[in-house]
Amino acid sequence: MKVAVRMRSNLRVEVHRFNPLLAIFASLFAILIQGYLPMWFPTTAALDLPLLVTLYFALSRRSQIAGLLIGAVIGLAQDSLSHGPIGMFGMTKTIVGYAASSLGVRIDTEHPGVRLLAVFGFYYMHLVVFLGLQRVLLEKAMLMPGPRSLAVAMVHAILAVVLFQFLDRFRKDY
């Protein structure tokens, strides 16, 4: 269902509804691809497909509570399949999902350029929060993102624009 939300500046931003099965299927598919794709193509290990799915649903729903829950569920599911400590991706994606849905409330994120910039920024937010949590909770040395992270962030942003256009086809518009 397409719902318009009136903002303070009288700008109307649409809130989109999705079939719950789409959200579940897209999340599970991203997590499974995330786990198996690097086995065949090792260079894809840097991709974080669950992050892109989290960002898509958080930006589209424009509800902080929904973004928070989507991030937590996808992050914890990713944690269950990773080799790291349980909860790191859950906490990180919860924070990023909340922030993305907060941004989605403020601006219209339907334009591909806005999506590109948003995903680029949220990739870095995810990286910094993850590294910060590792530093605080696991007492690991905090590594600063280098030039490689710029390329990875740009790949995420470009992939997100294509993925978001594909997922837009499955929105429920009434």
Strands (E), the chain: 3-6, 12-15
Cα-to-chain-centroid distance, residue 163: 12
How far apart CA 74 and CA 80 sit, in angstroms, is 10
Q: Give the containing element (helix H, strand E) for 132.
A: helix 112-137
How far apart CA 132 and CA 139 sit, in angstroms, is 10
How far apart CA 69 and CA 24 sit, in angstroms, is 13
Instruction: Look at residue 173 and tell me whether its pLDDT is greater than 70.
Output: no
Instruction: Look at residue 51 and tell me whether its pLDDT is greater than 80.
Output: yes
**φ/ψ (deg, to 5) at 8:** -60, -35
pTM: 0.89
pLDDT recorded at residue 2: 45
Note the pLDDT tens digit of each residue in 132-157. 999 999 998 878 888 999 999 999 99
How far apart CA 79 and CA 105 sit, in angstroms, is 28
